[in-house]
Amino acid sequence: MKSSTVKISGKLICIILAVCVITAVSFCCRVCVSAEGAVPDLVEIFEKGNWTCLKYTKSWSVIPAGNYRFEMDCVIYSGKPVIRVGNDEIGARITGYQTDYSSRYDSEDNRYIITFTLNEDWEGNLGVLVGNYDGNYGGVNSHFACANPALYLLSADGEKTGGSLINTFAADYYSTSRAGNRWNRRNFGAGAGVCTSPVPRGYFRSVDYIAGDINGDGLLNNKDLTRLFQFLSDWNVTVDEYALDINGDGNVNNKDLIRLFQFLSGWDVKVYHSGGNSQEENMINLRNSSGYDASKVFTGGAWSEAGALKNSILTSGNTEDIYTVTGNKYYISSDMPLSSIPANLKAGDAVLFERGGVWRVNGTTLTVPEGVIFGAYGSGDKPLFSGSAKNYAKSAAWTKAGENIWKTSLVGGNAGIIVFNDKYALGVKKWSLDEVSEDYDFYSDDSEGVLYLRYSGNPKLDFDSIEIGQRNDVIRVKSGAVADNLCVKYTGAHGIILSGNTENVKITNCEIGMLGGSQQLRETRYGNGIEMQLGVRHIKVSGNYVYQCYDAGITFQSWNSADMDTYYDDIDISKNLVEACYYNIEFFSTQPDRGGRYTELHNISMSNNILRFAGYVWSYEQRPDHWMTANIRSSQRGWYEETENFVIADNIFDCSRACLVYWWWHSTDDSYVHDAPHPGVTVSGNSFYETKTIDGRVMGYRYELAKKAYDLKTLKNAVAVFDGSPKKVVWLDTI
């Protein structure tokens, strides 16, 4: 046995040597780090969840440009197999990278053969093999069984060279033999083991690695820590070269050993893998039981303007360069807890959080005191304030509670949202465990403090992160205070909240998203990005990026049960990018005819905002009120006779799933619902983009008074009711 040649702290050496003894790993293997282009060998069959899958060595992660021939043994009943790259079929939709595609079935030899050329611009991984379909999920148009795959690089004369280059392929067929029209899957290899369990229809991605799986055994445990220690100590051992850079900094050294040790010990850190499929591709499906498909990407009409605004917000300068700090400055580095914030802050002080840091605000609310600035310093991403208690993608977090049912402790309960890999809000809240039946369904048993998740894979291994948002507001801003350059995510309630009678507040340059959905009352759920409630004055909300909120992105609102008159004065909502919320901007007043008090609106400005894709949000299918989603929504049945100088100008309204604007009001002397903005409101110079909505409505003035559009002419007519002098009106064939 070779002695170590790396320098590690004595404490860590003791820990790792103890692991070596416990796991009894053999150290006589030779180093096996394959050169690029070597032929991967089939090494074993292993179980991942309920699926039997084929695992190959990781010696080929990227398929380069060249001519290829893919062949396999097949029995074709109907349709034909196709190769996919992610969601794209070779021979169908990736024409920018591929030419000379052909396929044929040799019935005499039961062989299916596909040939294609990847051009010089191509650089990527081949994905899975699935059944071809005509775009309609409703019929049986693919049914086949295949085995023994091989992908060959061809020479100029068409001869096979270099042997098989394939990683992992799976053959799928589509069948209506099961309720709900599900995808079923067959696998290649000896015996071609059949996967009979149905999963929600969608795209499957092959699994050829687990981040942190140094020894390549398909598991993540102390054996990998031991193997990495051996490798760094120059012992002759087999490793997966793509798994070595644990911390993702481009180097392999002691820092990776420490990171893996921290990860296995339950620390809130990530591990990385530099080759093969990403952790994102390990996910079984990006579509949940509600019908939400997280893989869909929209461009709309203002994609260029939105991209530029988003970039300027996410790369905004540090708080000290924007605001003058008249008091003391306190710097909170990423390794300091929130308890490091001084308790005796005074007006004029600033608390600056290091960019790239993560602070978890769960079971409480972080308060910005009166007259104090909370902001950012340093470089990189804005400091993140997460409503999730921890990253639940840890080996110890989940235990099996039944077939494809996992459970984890959730102190406080009332989960509203589950976000996978930082960006996929796929969790579907159910109200009983019996309703949890498809992947990503979850039930929050608040009496027991347990969350149940249905997932056909393994949540311990398949995700870099799982964030669970519960019912607690993350940040509360008091009068005279500033919240600048903060990132707020992963709560089941509100991101940033201003309570009644708050005044002189600025919320600027923040990123707020992936939140809401906790239970508010009975089966009513809620959660807004920026909430101003029960009367506020002299407020500036500018330069923020707000997205994927259960309810509203930005809202000011009053409600009947508060039993109070409310006043909103001097509110500037400008230069924000708000997209993919149920309501992007909302104002909500009391309803005097239903027992509420009066709400007055004075000097309100909504200008130069980009409001996009209302309703194209994770929560849409989980709500009952689909037709009300809008880029701007006013309260229904509101009385707005005490409105002065309310200006909506120079905004971009870029598509909605139902209404570009939903506006419902009536005057005090009658019950007539007006199909136009109310007195005191000026609307001008806005741009409108829209495509076909769920039922044609684009402007909502109560359900029966909705203005509908089916082409440019009817869209212009509908817009004219709201904005008599628009800057631009564009009808899109698709978003």
Helix residue ranges, H only, 319-455 = 319-322
Smallest CA-to-CA distance from 305 within 26, 696, 575 is with: 575
pLDDT at 649 over 80: yes
Instruction: Give the pair of three-digit tokens for residue 86.
Output: 């992610």
Are the C-beta atoms of 429 and 444 separated by less than 8 Å? yes
Calculate the CA dihedral of residues 717, 720, 721, 722 and round it to 10 degrees.
130
Question: Has residue 321 got a pLDDT over 50?
Answer: yes
Mean pLDDT of the chain: 76
Q: Does the pLDDT at position 284 exceed 70?
A: no
Packing angle between helix 10-23 and helix 222-232, nearest 10 degrees? 120
Lowest mean pLDDT among 267-271, 463-467, 508-512: 267-271
CB burial of residue 156 (10 Å; 0-12, 13-18, 19+)? exposed
CA angle 64, 67, 69 (to 5 degrees): 110
- Taking the C-alpha atoms of residue 224 and residue 235, their distance in angstroms, rounded to an integer, is 14
Q: Among 434, 461, 488, give the residue marking a domain's end.
A: 461
| Cα 15 to Cα 9: distance, rounded to the nearest angstrom | 10
Domain assignment present for residue 704? The answer is: yes
Residue 627 to residues 293, 581, 582, 583, 695, Cα–Cα distance (Å) = 19, 14, 11, 11, 8
Using pLDDT thresholds of 50, 70 and 90, give the confidence band for residue 132. very low
Task: Find the helix or strand (DSSP H, E) in which 722 lies.
Answer: helix 712-722
Q: Which of 219-223, 487-491, 616-620 has the lowest mean pLDDT?
A: 219-223
State whether 454 and 475 are in the same domain. no
What pTM value is reported for the model? 0.67
Please tell me which residue, 578 or 303, carries the higher pLDDT value: 578
Supply the range of the domain harboring residue 338. Answer: 307-387+469-731
For 335-375, how does the pLDDT look when each residue is reduced to its tens digit (9 = 90+)?
999 999 999 999 999 999 999 999 999 999 999 999 999 99
When pLDDT is averaged across residues 611-631 and rounded to a whole number, the result is: 93
211 vs 246: CA distance, rounded Å: 8
What's the pLDDT score for residue 91?
56
The per-residue pLDDT for 469 is 98
Look at residue 28 and tell me if it is in a domain.
no
Task: Tell whether 584 and 483 lie within a shared domain.
Answer: yes
Which of 188-192, 381-385, 671-675 holds the top average pLDDT? Answer: 381-385
pLDDT over threshold 60, residue 175: no
What's the pLDDT score for residue 221?
82
CA 114 vs. chain centroid, Å, equals 35
What's the average model confidence in pLDDT over 55-84? 56
- Number of domain units in the chain: 4
Token digits of residue 684: 């001008």
The SS3 assignment for 593 reads helix
CB burial of residue 10 (10 Å; 0-12, 13-18, 19+):
exposed
Count the neighbouring beta carbons within 10 Å of the beta carbon of residue 41: 11
CATH number for the domain harbouring residue 532: 2.160.20
Co-location of 318 and 371 in the same domain: yes
* Pairwise pLDDT comparison (304 vs 377), residue with the higher score: 377
The rounded distance, in Å, linking the Cα atoms of 404 and 48 is 11
**How many of the other CB atoms lie within 10 Å of CB of 629?**
27
The verdict on 640 and 702 lying in the same domain is: yes
pLDDT greater at residue 112 or residue 367: 367
| Residue with the larger pLDDT of the pair 645 and 596 | 645
Same domain, 167 and 98: yes
C-alpha–C-alpha distance, residues 247 and 253, integer Å = 10
Last residue of some domain: 199, 224, 244? 199
Residues contacting residue 14 through CB under 8 Å, at least 6 positions apart: none
528 and 584 belong to one structural domain: yes
What's the mean pLDDT in 261-271?
Answer: 79
Q: How far apart are CA 659 and CA 630, in angstroms?
A: 5
**Of 530, 541, 543, which is closest to residue 499 (Cα–Cα)?**
530
- Minimal CA–CA distance to 657: which of 701, 714, 696? 696
Structure tokens at 470: 């519960």
Q: Is the pLDDT of residue 64 over 90?
A: no
Q: Which helix (H) or strand (E) element contains residue 255?
A: helix 254-264
Residue 719 lies in a domain: yes
Mean pLDDT of 221-245: 84
Task: Please check whether residues 169 and 105 belong to one and the same domain.
Answer: yes
User: CA 364, CA 444: separation in Å to the nearest integer?
Assistant: 19
Pick from 137-146, 290-299, 547-556, 673-682: least confident: 137-146
How sure is the predictor about 521, in pLDDT bands with cuts at 50, 70 and 90?
confident
Q: What is the CATH number of the domain that holds 244?
A: 1.10.1330.10
In a domain, 150, yes or no: yes
Determine, yes or no, domain membership for 24.
no
The residue-averaged pLDDT of 473-492 equals 98
Residue 425 or 153, more confident: 425
Query: Given this model, what pLDDT does residue 592 score?
Result: 60
CB-CB contact of 358 with 332 (8 Å): no
Looking at 199, 229, 246, the residue that finishes a domain is 199
Radius of gyration of the chain (CA): 28
Task: Assess if residue 20 is contained within a domain.
Answer: no
d(CA 674, CA 681): 13
Considering the domain architecture, whether residues 324 and 447 belong to the same structural domain is answered as no
Q: Which residues have C-beta within 8 Å of that of residue 261, sequence separation ≥ 6?
A: 12, 15, 16, 225
The answer to whether position 104 is within a domain reads: yes
Contact 393, 489 (CB under 8 A): no
Same domain, 590 and 620: yes
CA distance 126 to 271: 24
Are residue 229 and residue 376 in the same domain, yes or no? Answer: no
d(CA 470, CA 392): 13
User: Taken in order 726, 732, 734, 735, is the CA torsion positive or negative?
Assistant: negative
**Confidence check: pLDDT of 109 > 80:** no
In this structure, are residues 467 and 422 in contact, taking their beta carbons and an 8 Å threshold?
Answer: yes
Task: Say yes or no: 139 and 265 in one domain.
Answer: no
Q: Is residue 539 part of a domain?
A: yes
Could you give the CA distance from residue 704 to residue 713 in angstroms, rounded to a whole number? 21
Do 156 and 90 lie in one domain? The reply is yes
